């Protein structure tokens, strides 16, 4: 891998088995042509590790908070926007290995690939160094995001948008979803309609992520009116 050491410094972890890091950065679109493993299994593992580290932190830091509040705080910290902030801090995109179909002038067509790669890198750290190593990496990477989490609006974008539209007498938002099929990135594309008009759009590897991104865009647009 090119510049693996510089990336390890930003992640704050040095791999004993650097092939794990390479796998975490390899998208499915590149793995077929290169005949190598891709990030998805490590992403699955990293998602679980990230959720547990954040859950432990919130449980210990906010003993007065109810379970529902903790769940909303966790969702705010592990959603795609947070993963993309970490990807930007790690300067991850130049290190991603994608097929020609996913390349663009900015490096990759879909930001979801960078978000997924963050989870995959966490999974790779866990595989290589165990729980304590992964825990340290997550806590260091999420430190800027955790500041003030107890005071922020932790409702997801769909909830905030619904409250806004109902308060203005516009009824409930509606979502139209397109499934591009397995192996396509992003798999799902969503549009959010308010009063029958498209107010936001989004995409993601899961239906919920696509709808949340569309709702976030709609909320920002309508809130400025």
Annotated binding residue at 180? no
| Residues marked as catalytic | 47, 119
Sheet of 197-204, strands arranged across: 174-179, 188-194, 197-204
Contact 165, 182 (CB under 8 A): no
Torsion angle in degrees (nearest 10) through CA of 95, 96, 100, 101: -150
Residue 8, SS3 per DSSP: helix
Annotated binding residue at 2? no
Annotated binding residue at 43? yes
**Tokens at residue 98, please?**
């994608």
Which DSSP string corresponds to 64-127?
Answer: TS-HHHHHHHHHHHHSHHHHHHHHHHHT-GGG-B--GGG--TTS-S-HHHHHHHHHHHHHHHHH
> Residues annotated in the binding site for Mg(2+), as ranges?
43, 116, 119
> Residues annotated in the binding site, as ranges?
43, 116, 119
């Amino acid at each position: 891998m090119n510049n693996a050491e510089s990336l390890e410094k930003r992640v704050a972890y040095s791999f004993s088995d650097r092939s794990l890091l390479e796998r975490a950065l390899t998208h499915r679109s590149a793995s077929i042509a290169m005949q190598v493993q891709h990030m998805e299994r490590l992403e699955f593992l990293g998602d679980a590790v990230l959720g547990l580290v954040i859950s432990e932190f919130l449980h210990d830091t906010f003993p007065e908070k109810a379970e529902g509040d903790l769940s909303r705080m966790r969702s705010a910290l592990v959603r795609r926007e947070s993963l993309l902030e970490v990807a930007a801090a790690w300067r991850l995109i130049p290190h991603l290995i994608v097929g020609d179909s996913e390349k663009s002038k900015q490096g990759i067509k879909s930001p979801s690939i960078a978000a997924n790669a963050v989870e995959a890198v966490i999974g790779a750290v866990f595989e290589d160094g165990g729980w304590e190593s992964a825990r340290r990496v997550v806590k260091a990477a999420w430190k800027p995001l955790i500041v003030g989490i107890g005071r922020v609006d932790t409702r997801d974008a769909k909830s905030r948008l619904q409250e806004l539209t109902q308060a203005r007498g516009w009824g409930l938002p509606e979502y139209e979803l397109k499934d591009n099929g397995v192996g396509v990135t992003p798999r799902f594309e969503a549009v959010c309609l308010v009063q029958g008009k498209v107010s936001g759009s989004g995409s993601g590897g899961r239906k919920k992520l696509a709808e949340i991104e569309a709702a976030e865009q709609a909320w920002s647009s309508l809130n400025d009116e």
